[in-house]
Amino acid sequence: MSEALAWIDAQQSSLQQRLMQWSRINSGSHNLDGLANMHQTLADAYAEVSDSVESITADSYQIVRADGVVEEKQYGRMLHCLKRPEAKRRILLVGHMDTVFPADSAFQQPAQIDDNTIHGPGVADMKGGLLCMLTALKAYEQFTSDPQLGWEVLINADEELGSHGSRATIAKLATHSEIGLVYEPALADGTMVSSRKGSGNFSLVVHGKAAHAGREFNLGRNAIAQLALAMQALHGLNEKRDSIICNLGTITGGTVVNSVADLAICHFNVRTETSEDETWIQNQLKEIIVNINAEDGYSAELHGGLTRPPKDFSPEIKALFTLLSECSEQLGFEIKHQATGGCCDGNNLAAAGLPNIDTLGVRGGAIHTEDEFMLLDSLTERSKLSYLLLEKLNQMDSFEHYMRSQS
């Protein structure tokens, strides 16, 4: 084990160089060419340690265009890697290759800004995490004398958009495994996530009736005005239930100022804390749609849905954190965790019944902004943490037995 940890430490320079290379590949969620480049780069890297590597086509998804038309779109392909699929005990490691930075973003190049910090797109979220995952697996395969674990890796290309295209595949693979490990970044101080809110994206489309603003204003039905009332109702939901968030994201509508707008659209996001929240918010949204459709000359449609259920801090996840804390103690630091309003594929795994820890990636911060950074020493630190966790899991009869011993 000490030999494996020393080997990981010796990878620091090469890990840093590879992270800079990966960060330079723009893999924004909608940049299919960039995602294909990143996909092949990862396939080559993970082939070094996998028995098999394959591409999986994601399910398509729908968007509501500015003209109100629903259009079918395609996500980037998923990468799926297997090792010892015949093993009785299996784990699932999950990550994503997409970032929030589009192909025309000004934020394209990584840079080292001090001895321990890299600033760049995706360095924390989550190309650094993908490197930690790969390094830990390499150490496990190279230094474990009798590997008992079969493992699967799934790296999707639509996590930043809600994992709509990969959700079914994630749920399917979750049934094969005992636990899940997800490589979202930890906070800069190392704090990890214990529980997460659920999430869903929606598009509210309101139709009215066009008319000349001067000659026949009273004959028109202004979709923008009606949408504004609905948006007030949506925003007002935040005051009715502390455990939910309804965030109005973008709006479009109208054509020219001297014509009554016959179309207006609002895209919004909802966060929920419990299954009761999900039921409540769905009922509230239905009521808003019913009220609009009851108005003379107006009609409304709601697209989207709640796609990531809340992730609770279950007894199984608590047991996983206990096990991880034993690993961190060997490395000389303490694991801390907290709840968050953010969500990730850890939500999807938990919804499929798979206990998981979902912040095993590098330490970093300012993710989803042009100030994104990661701390270089966490490349080896978090790789060693995952390697020790794999070793502990390898030595167990089953995680279920361990969980029972902790209850």
Instruction: Quote the CA–CA distance of 215 and 173 in Å, as a whole number.
Output: 61
Assigned CATH class of 200-308: alpha beta
- Please tell me if the domain spanning 2-197+310-406 has the same topology as the one spanning 200-308: no
Among 116, 99, 117, smallest CA distance to 108 is for: 99
- Where are the chain's structural domains? 2-197+310-406, 200-308
- CB count within 10 Å of CB 285 equals 24
Candidates 3.30.70.3400, 3.40.630.10, 3.30.300.10, 3.40.50.300; CATH matching 2-197+310-406: 3.40.630.10
pLDDT values of the chain reduced to their tens digit, one per residue, 407 residues: 899 999 999 999 999 999 999 999 999 999 999 999 999 999 999 999 999 999 999 999 888 988 899 999 899 999 999 999 999 999 999 999 999 999 999 999 999 999 999 999 999 999 999 999 999 999 999 999 999 999 999 999 999 999 999 999 999 999 989 999 999 999 999 999 999 999 999 999 999 999 999 999 999 999 999 999 999 999 999 999 999 999 999 999 999 999 999 999 999 999 999 999 999 999 999 999 999 999 999 999 999 999 999 999 999 999 999 999 999 999 999 999 999 998 999 999 999 999 999 999 999 999 999 999 999 999 999 999 999 999 999 999 888 888 778 76
How is residue 30 written in tokens? Answer: 């909608």
* Residue pair 96/346 in contact by the 8 Å Cβ criterion: no
Tens-place pLDDT, residues 293-312 = 999 999 999 999 999 999 99
Greatest CA separation for the chain: 84
* Helical pair 275-293 and 223-240, crossing angle rounded to 10 deg: 150
Dist CA 299 CA 308 (whole Å): 28
- The whole-angstrom separation of Cα 119 and Cα 108 is 10
**127, 11 in Cβ contact below 8 A?**
no
Residue 350: count other Cβ atoms within 10 Å of its Cβ: 25
The answer to whether the CB of 153 falls within 8 A of the CB of 326 is no
Distance separating alpha carbons of residues 365 and 95, to the nearest angstrom: 17
pLDDT at 61: 84
Side-chain-facing half-sphere of 87: CA atoms under 13 Å: 22
Please report which residue ranges of 206-342 form alpha helices under DSSP H: 223-240, 275-293, 315-331
> Cβ atoms within 10 A of the Cβ of 107, count?
18
Helix (H, G, I), strand (E, B) or coil at 288: helix
Cβ burial of 244 (10 Å; 0-12, 13-18, 19+) is buried
- Length of the chain, in residues: 407
Spatial separation of the C-alpha atoms in residues 310 and 271, rounded to whole Å: 9
**Helix, strand, coil fractions of the chain, as percent rounded to 5:** 40, 30, 35
pTM of the model: 0.93
Angle between helices 2-9 and 377-395 (to 10 degrees): 160
Q: Can you tell me whether residue 14 is helix, strand or coil?
A: helix
Mapped onto helix, strand or coil, the DSSP state of residue 179 is: strand
Question: How many Cα atoms are found within 13 Å in the side-chain-facing hemisphere of 188?
Answer: 11
DSSP state of 264: E
Closest CA to 8 of 124, 184, 191, 135: 135
Angle at alpha carbon of residue 278, lines to 277 and 282, rounded to 5°: 115
How far is 7 from 319, CA to CA, in rounded Å? 28
User: If you search the block for the tokens 């797109």, which residue do you land on?
Assistant: 121
Query: Can you read off the two tokens belonging to residue 302?
Result: 């709601």
Say what the pLDDT of residue 325 is: 97
Phi, psi of 375 (to 5 degrees): -95, 120
For residue 91 the two structure tokens come to: 């784990």
Query: What integer pLDDT is reported at residue 407 of this predicted model?
Result: 66
